[in-house]
């Protein structure tokens, strides 16, 4: 038996023995590594096609990479996983493999600090999430947790990718799980820049802050068409899930910006108040002092009459650093003010009753708003500054049936649970259980002060007199009843509606002149900066959700 062997071939494809080599691709037609690199990078940048990106720009919107380049300091964005694509062959997807799979991920710097981010690309499968898409988001979230950096999601997604079925749902579950694992570890910010539906809204809902772009972004579980079919209701996209709906009615959106670029700029500003992770202190800025006249104006801002409204923003603005406030939830539950600010350059979280709205009463939405903000500040080491002017909880069947007991307890729980420095100022009144809830000394306030006109009591004088002296008033002749009620009211107010009874018992650390407020707070924060407070060992508390 004889065997034959193929003669060796040379680099020209012709056998050294003179025989022609087997036919094959000519090396002259193969792109060089550099040429292929350029071609593949161009494919990555092109995404689903230049025409689709141009259509997006024609709508006044940015492409995914442009959004990230706008978010980060110039030239600092580093993309990862640009070549990742899906592995699905059904429904024609084998012929539609687009590099990046509809999401751009990476990291960069914002004001010199490392931040991780992802931006969904609505030109690729409508930004819908599939297995590979989800794995990229999970990977950048895990990177953020490892290095201790905030993670920003630029969300523009129609939800789960239907062609991938349960695999896409599994991908969402992986993202949700990381949202929970890293909650309170690194700041998570969601910026909504398009229509997000179904699963695409649950991940943002578990992040620390949601920013929406006016007119361009929408969030809903089911869209108007499904609602029309199921319930018969007629509603537009904007009415159902627009920025103003979620900023004023549902409390889903923390902040609203006029457009995409403004939303990205607002994200940068928001992060300037927050540490990179829960083991760091918030970044400080050069201190700025209010004008010399501000301290003397405080006393005149607050009316002596307990039932006269005034704007608590005016008080806060004369105590914190000028132009340093960023109000969170400005349009939702406006009877409660929650805002980020700076005091001598250091970020703080401000919580305050707003007497201009519902007399500053605590209701369901205000309690939930305050509790959420307090817990966020505590998670990321922002000291809490509370201004109290509250007549109590809002009465009524709607509040009771809606669970004001449970919701009010959330605020009480949040303040009690917080271990950051907690300072409380009572400019005018603090009545009933609301006095306790608004960061009183009894639930862990570190430095509690009141102004001389403050009224700290179970209730106002008239209500107290009507209960305490009901029999005397009923027995009094009708012509003398009004005069007797006034006398008793004045006596009760003089005896009980003042800050000194609380101060005598140590419930207040001092009664101060309004003009001293900023100075006293600066001194207290300086003393409390190294505060450490241990809690009993436990898995976690059971906040009354």
Task: Return the closest-CA partner of residue 129 out of 196, 31, 205.
Answer: 196
Residue 202 structure tokens: 């649950």
Tokens of 465: 């007199």
CA distance 52 to 57: 9
Q: Which residues pair with 518 in a beta bridge?
A: none
User: 463 is written with which tokens?
Assistant: 């209500």
Q: What is the DSSP letter of 31?
A: P
Closest among 320, 396, 387, 401 to 352, alpha carbons compared: 387
Active site residues: 198-199, 433-434
**DSSP single-letter state for residue 17:** T
| Length of the chain (residues) | 545
Sheet strands (E) in 173-216: 188-192, 195-197, 209-213
Give the strand pairing for 113-120 and 510-511: unpaired
Give SS3 for 384: strand
**Rounded to whole angstroms, how far apart are CA atoms 278 and 328?**
20
Provide the token pair at 257: 């910006």
Three-class DSSP category at 409 = helix
C-alpha span between 444 and 418 (Å, rounded): 8
Q: For residue 153, what is the enclosing H or E element?
A: strand 151-155
Local structure of residue 276 (DSSP, 8 states): S
Taking the C-alpha atoms of residue 501 and residue 442, their distance in angstroms, rounded to an integer, is: 15
DSSP conformation letters of 68-127: HHHHSSTT--EEE-TT------GGGGGG---TTTTEEEEEEEETTEEEEEEEE-TTTGGG
Residue 125: how many CB atoms within 10 A of its CB? 24
In contact, 464 and 496? CB cutoff 8 Å: yes
Strands (E), 354-420: 384-387
Tokens of 325: 């406030």
DSSP calls for 321-348? PTT--EEESSSSSTTEEEEEEEETTEEE
H or E segment to which residue 462 belongs:
helix 461-468
DSSP code at position 350? E
Region of residue 51 (left: phi > 0; alpha: psi -120 to 50; beta: else)? alpha
Measured at the CA of 92, the angle between CA 86 and CA 94, to 5 degrees, comes to: 40
């Amino acid at each position: 038996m004889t065997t034959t062997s193929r003669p060796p071939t040379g680099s020209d494809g012709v056998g050294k023995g003179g025989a022609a080599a087997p036919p094959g691709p000519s090396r002259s037609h193969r792109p060089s590594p550099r040429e292929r690199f350029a071609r593949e990078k161009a494919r990555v940048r092109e995404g689903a096609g230049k025409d689709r990106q141009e259509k997006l720009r024609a709508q006044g919107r940015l492409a995914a990479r442009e959004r990230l380049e706008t978010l980060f300091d110039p030239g600092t964005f580093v993309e990862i996983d640009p070549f990742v694509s899906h592995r699905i062959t059904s429904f024609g997807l084998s012929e539609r493999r687009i590099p990046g799979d509809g999401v751009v991920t990476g990291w960069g710097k914002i004001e010199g600090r490392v931040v991780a981010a992802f931006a969904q690309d609505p030109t690729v499968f409508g930004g819908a999430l599939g297995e590979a898409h989800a794995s990229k988001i999970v990977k950048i979230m895990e990177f953020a947790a490892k290095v201790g950096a905030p993670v920003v999601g630029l969300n523009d997604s129609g939800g789960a990718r239907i062609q991938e079925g349960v695999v896409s749902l599994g991908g969402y579950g992986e993202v949700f799980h990381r949202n929970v694992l890293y909650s309170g570890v690194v700041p998570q910010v969601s910026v909504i820049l398009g229509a997000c539906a179904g699963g695409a809204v649950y991940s943002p809902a578990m992040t620390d802050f949601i920013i929406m772009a006016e007119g361009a972004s929408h969030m809903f579980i089911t869209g108007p068409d499904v609602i029309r079919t199921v319930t018969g209701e007629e509603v537009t996209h904007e009415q159902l899930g627009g920025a103003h709906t979620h900023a004023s009615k549902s409390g889903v959106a923390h902040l609203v910006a006029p457009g995409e670029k403004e939303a990205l700029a607002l994200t940068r500003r928001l992060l300037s108040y927050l540490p990179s992770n829960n083991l760091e202190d918030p970044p400080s800025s050069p201190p700025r002092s209010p004008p010399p006249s501000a301290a003397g104006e405080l006393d005149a801002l607050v009316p002596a009459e307990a039932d006269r409204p005034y704007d608590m923003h005016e008080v806060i603005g004369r105590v914190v650093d000028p132009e340093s406030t960023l109000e969170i939830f400005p349009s939702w539950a406006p009877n409660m003010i929650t805002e980020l600010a700076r005091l001598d350059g250091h970020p703080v979280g401000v919580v305050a009753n707003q007497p201009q709205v519902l007399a500053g009463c605590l209701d369901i939405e205000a309690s939930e708003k305050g509790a959420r903000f307090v817990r966020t500040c505590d998670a990321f080491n922002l000291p809490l500054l509370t201004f109290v002017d509250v007549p109590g909880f809002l009465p009524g069947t709607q509040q009771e049936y809606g669970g004001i007991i449970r919701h009010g307890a959330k605020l009480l729980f949040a303040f009690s649970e917080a271990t950051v420095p907690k300072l409380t100022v009572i400019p005018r009144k603090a009545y009933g259980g609301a006095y306790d809830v608004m960061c009183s000394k009894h639930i862990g306030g570190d430095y509690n002060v009141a102004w001389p006109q403050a009224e700290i009591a179970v209730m106002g004088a008239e209500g107290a007199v009507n209960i305490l002296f009901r029999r005397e008033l009923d027995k009094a002749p009708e012509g003398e009843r009004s005069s007797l009620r006034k006398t008793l009211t004045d006596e009760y107010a003089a005896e009980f509606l003042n800050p000194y009874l609380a101060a005598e018992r140590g419930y207040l650390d001092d009664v101060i002149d309004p003009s001293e407020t900023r100075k006293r707070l600066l001194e207290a924060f300086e003393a409390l900066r190294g505060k450490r407070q241990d809690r009993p060992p436990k898995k976690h508390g059971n906040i009354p959700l």
